[in-house]
Chains A and B, each alone.
Chain A
């Protein structure tokens, strides 16, 4: 494997980890209410 391929793999893996962290954070039980509140707030009178 040359350096370019290793870099490519590293970036792909890094992006995957970031995505996995976003999923974990969004679906964490602790933050459930916090992550749903915006959908009610947007219905407030303009």
Chain B
């Protein structure tokens, strides 16, 4: 009983040639077996570890009794996007990290069970939503990432008239343009968006708030505004050669592949055909980029300036990446990108790094300039983090020096205008963005009760 039921995955040799989902989910038998390991603690630590406080033991109990309806209802009380969070949440540092079972063996596979319930609910059209009468109030939501989607979901159920404005041609934010198909099938995001539409949420794509339509116009037209524009602006290193042809942001690679479908045969969106690519960084974004490139047949490496132990990406993604043949070059950092006369990348000058003291809870690193070497490659991808999408609001809202919108528990400097998700925290997680959207919605609902 100390070992968890492991989820089946697509064969590693097969999956590097496709973009289909890697993890295949639990069967009913597997789910019930795994659910039976739950000790149903009186004082469940897992729930405390969940940013939205899902009553985890209760829904697991329902799975044991094969009552998907009930399990789904329990999850939906706290989480708006369970089929997504079940797949992409960093459970090992949240619910599963707190699970008592984990002390003497494997924690319960809470994420996999959440995913199981949500997938069954989707397949069987189980819907637990009760919608109230229209209350005559309207809300504009800016950005259709998890923050915006969850805010919209809460409000529409309470009878608000909700319109989401999205700058891209497709709704979903990072869930659509960033996280790859093999980790989060787009069909799932689409179905979450569809179900919001069915509840009456209007989604206006192709509108960049701040330019196409101003915040003032939205304030005139709507009673409230919620801003969830995320932290999508990629950072580039300030080194020689950063403008070379062949240096990309991870966002560009992922957007071309996910949003524009560059991985599909006959796609109209090109992606640079490289032989050897180095993705610089060690987070989820770096893993997603490097694994995507591998699937395009490129010899794909991670270059990370700290060691494997400090890597911020989820453990499971790192393991999957290793299985797929990604090469990890740790304790190294680019100093210079070397180009030919046409500005094409031909390699990098790389410096060895050494781990040093712990600063603010994190190992710092220093360059060891005695060891600078050249490596050959024709693509370099920056996955160094992102900054907030707030430029278009700089004249309207109070921003901090990083460009994050300043909020007092989701309320911005303008009355009636709320914000949440990565735009107020910097790049964080899907579940935190979802929670912020929900919290803002609660505030708006309370004002109207």
Q: Do A and B bind each other?
A: no
Residues of B within 8 A of A (CB): none
